[in-house]
Amino acid sequence: MPDAVYFDHVQLIDGTYAEVCDSVARAAIRNGTFFLGVTTTELTDGAATNPIMIAGESVTAKNGDIVVYGRHEYVFASVDSKWHELGSPVLKAEVHNGVLEFSRD
C-alpha cells in the first residue's frame, strides 16, 4: 500500500479533482472507500454526526464511507469519529422522488 502522501487528491462526482489537505481524511480513504449516497443530515467539516439519513434510512458510517451533502463531499474517519470535507464539487446533488439528480444551480 502506498504511503498516504500519494492520496492528496480525490476525484469528485463531476470528474474534477480536489486536494485532500486533511491528513485524517487521507488516512480514511487510504484503505478503501464506499460511496453511501446523498445525505439529508446536515454535515460540516469536523461534524461528529453518526448515524446519518440516506434515502430515508438511518445509516451508521464506517471508516472511509463517503457522502454528499449539498455541494460538498465528506469522508468519515473512524480514528476521530468525524466527517472530513473532501471537496466542493461544481454540481449539487439532490434526491428527488428516489432519483439522484445533479444540477449546477
What's the pLDDT tens digit per position in 36-95?
Answer: 888 999 999 999 999 999 989 999 999 989 898 887 889 899 989 999 987 665 456 677
d(C-alpha 82, C-alpha 24), whole Å: 9
Under a CB-based contact definition with an 8 Å cutoff, are residues 64 and 34 in contact?
A: yes
Rounded to 5°, the CA angle 103-77-9 comes to: 55
Q: What is the pLDDT of residue 61?
A: 95
pTM: 0.66
pLDDT at 1 exceeding the cut of 60: no
Question: What proportion of the chain, given as a percentage, has pLDDT over 90?
Answer: 26
- Grid coordinates standing for 75? 469522508
Cell numbers 480513504 label which residue? 29
